[in-house]
Chain A
Amino acid sequence: MNLMLNMTGVRKTYATGAVEVEALRGIDLQVSAGDYVAIMGPSGSGKSTLMHIIGCLDVPTSGRYELDGSDVSSMSEKQLAEVRNRKIGFVFQSFNLLASLTALRNVELPLVYAGVPATERRERALAALAKVGLADRVQHRPGELSGGQQQRVSVARALVTNPALILADEPTGNLDSHSTAEILDLFAELNTAGRTIVMITHEADVADHAKETVHIYDGLLREQSVGVGAAK
């Protein structure tokens, strides 16, 4: 099967003052195209560090990481920016929308950095917003939208570049149960349509929506368990 994400022996060490902290101590993780994986772990487990490396926001100290067939473990900052732009769609816990921009402009942003012409950009952003059910909210600014709507805007932003991987970091952490259900339904829908999704969470009932769950503890992956998502 085609591997979208292939990590072997990934380690990450931080130097905090004189003390070296080993956040990741040899991670092996494979995610196939079309997979929906939840990564679970308590705080301090190395969960965020793993998410940063998966998202190409940071590079491993050692080990190998291939994303969609290309080795990203030794790329320059500029190359990493391009990989993030083209291959990864981020969904953050705190939405991370720019408050001064409309929903449409927020969704257009990754396309702006990809150098997509204005008309095509607009069309694609409108289509992505329609896909998340916000076709009637495109000119609203984040402040004028509910939390669930804001998170749907950021999902639209993650989708708009047609990325190889959607990386969600605690996507429901700031949402009420209704909006949580909405977003998780949206992810399920996207996964059914063939999207690869990696979701970091610490809530078991959220992780249950994924096809597979991996647990991280003290910088090591413990087990891979199959969630209810796979049964569907």
Chain B
Amino acid sequence: MMGWAETLRTAIAALNARRMRSLLTMLGILIGIAAVMLTVGLGQGASAQITSQINSLGSNLIIVSPSQTTTSGGFRGGGGTASTLTTQDAALLADPAVAPDVAAVAPTSSASGSLQSTESTWTSTVIGTVPDWQRVRAREVANGRFFTDAEVNSSASVAVIGEDTATELFTSANPVGQTISINGQAFTVIGVLKSAGSSLASNDDDTVVVPSTTYAARLSTSSNANSVSSIYLEGKDAESLSAAYQQVKTALLASHQVTSDDADFTVSTQASLVETATSITGIVTLLLGGVAGISLLVGGIGVMNIMLVSVSERVREIGLRKALGATPAIIRRQFLVEAGILGMLGGVVGIALGFIGAAILTPVLGMTVMISIPATLLALVVSLGIGIVAGVYPATRAAKLAPIDALRSE
């Protein structure tokens, strides 16, 4: 029986004899593998990016946001959209008897505000909250200080501004101690926040934070002075986060006198946000990867096509080899190995192209293309498999050729 080394040698010689055709056939597999690698890599990169952004919001974070419910009449309460969440809700959740696993609570209201300094004007998001916001959102003060509980109680007109806001309002002077006007109301800047980096939708560095009481009294546009736009909470630790989540949900359902089916708020944790985000990117990746996978399939059909052409071109050679003692099994193996090599070489070059593409796309798109090693190895196995599967039919045809018919063909 013929050895594998000899089979391989013969296959390589046969492919080499038709170099241009072999290269073009490989191209189909090559493009397919590279496309699958890049789309999956982009999807994973996007997913990782979103996850890290969500995680940068804070640690063990629970977010309660209002969900607007339709009235029995069937239309939403228009105009001043009063949030379903209030400062009373926040106070309730801060009670250790109600939610023992919650470490800090920061009710937050926000609205767009016109800012004016001695130097320039700017529009930014104004947030009314409490000192715990700093802890819950994991924000640090770069310059100056954050406001205190005393300042919240006294509705002090003080503001802490984001780094970008500071740059916009004050070109040279130290912002701390300066006076700015927010929607025509005068505030003293007492601190500048350290940069948090831009997150998913909003720029966390372009913001103005003021005490919640001051916000309610002087800036709020809401019809209900007690309403807040969301409540940020910090769980005690990662282990008790789900317990904290349950406590928050149960407490709010009870106080709002609703069931979870018609709840007028939603509670989400970072984990659930990450889950949602990754499931969305996962679906997108799957779709794109599927399209790329179809191109791989087309590449496989190309291999099959060329192998069939090759078999009919080499009928005489097959006949001779059979006359000289090649069994059907050897002939079949010969063509399978040829098809496998075409697939595998296409895969190797495709993977190389995928890495090059990733290196080029990462700076161009500003997104990380994450190519995983297991996925790359899988791609290699898949390309080899496609080659072999595509080779089965042509190889079987070659193996079945009767030696006399094969020798007769001129």
Query: Do the two chains bind?
Result: yes
Look across to chain B and name the residue whose beta carbon is closest to the beta carbon of A53.
Answer: B404
A81 touches B328 (CB 8 A): yes
Set B17, B316, B324, B404: member contacting A113, Cβ < 8 A: B324
Set A77, A90, A98, A157: member contacting B327, Cβ < 8 A: A77
Q: Is B323 an interface residue, CB under 8 A from the partner?
A: yes
B322 touches A81 (CB 8 A): yes
Q: Is B100 an interface residue, CB under 8 A from the partner?
A: no
CB distance from B18 to the nearest CB of A (A): 10
Q: Kindly identify, within residues 1 to 53 of chain B, every residue whose CB is under 8 Å from any CB belonging to chain A.
A: 1-3, 6, 13-14, 17
Query: Inside 8 A of A115's CB, which chain B residues have their CB?
Result: 1-3
Chain A residues within 8 Å of chain B by Cβ, number: 26
Chain B residues within 8 Å of chain A by Cβ, number: 25
Q: Is A65 an interface residue, CB under 8 A from the partner?
A: no
A98 touches B320 (CB 8 A): yes
Q: Kindly identify, within residues 194 to 225 of chain B, every residue whose CB is under 8 Å from any CB belonging to chain A.
A: none
B407 touches A81 (CB 8 A): no
Query: Inside 8 A of A81's CB, which chain B residues have their CB?
Result: 322, 325-328
Q: Is A228 an interface residue, CB under 8 A from the partner?
A: no
Query: Inside 8 A of B323's CB, which chain A residues have their CB?
Result: 55, 57, 84, 90, 96
Query: Inside 8 A of A57's CB, which chain B residues have their CB?
Result: 323, 403-404, 407
Q: Is B330 an interface residue, CB under 8 A from the partner?
A: yes
Q: A100-B13, A115-B2, A115-B3 are in contact. Are A110 and B324 (CB under 8 A)?
A: yes
Set A52, A96, A100, A114: member contacting B404, Cβ < 8 A: A52
A90 touches B404 (CB 8 A): no
Set B316, B317, B324, B410: member contacting A84, Cβ < 8 A: B324
Q: Is A82 an interface residue, CB under 8 A from the partner?
A: yes
B316 touches A96 (CB 8 A): yes
Q: CA–CA, A96 to B402, complex, Å? A: 16
Q: CA–CA, A57 to B6, complex, Å? A: 24
Q: CA–CA, A54 to B2, complex, Å? A: 25
Q: Scoring A residues 37 to 59 as 1 if CB is less than 8 Å from chain B, else 0, what string do you get?
A: 00000000000000010010110
Residue of B1, B320, B323 with most chain A CB atoms under a 10 A cut-off: B323
Q: Is B321 an interface residue, CB under 8 A from the partner?
A: yes
A-B contacts besides A78-B329, A84-B324, A115-B2, 19 pairs, CB < 8 Å: A57-B404, A58-B402, A58-B404, A81-B326, A81-B328, A82-B327, A84-B322, A85-B324, A90-B323, A94-B410, A96-B316, A96-B407, A100-B13, A100-B17, A109-B321, A110-B325, A112-B6, A113-B326, A113-B330
Chain A residues within CB distance 8 Å of chain B: 52, 55, 57-58, 77-78, 81-82, 84-86, 90, 92, 94, 96, 98, 100-101, 109-110, 112-115, 157, 161
11 A–B contact pairs at CB < 8 A? Answer: A57-B403, A57-B407, A58-B402, A58-B404, A78-B328, A96-B323, A100-B14, A101-B13, A115-B1, A115-B3, A157-B324
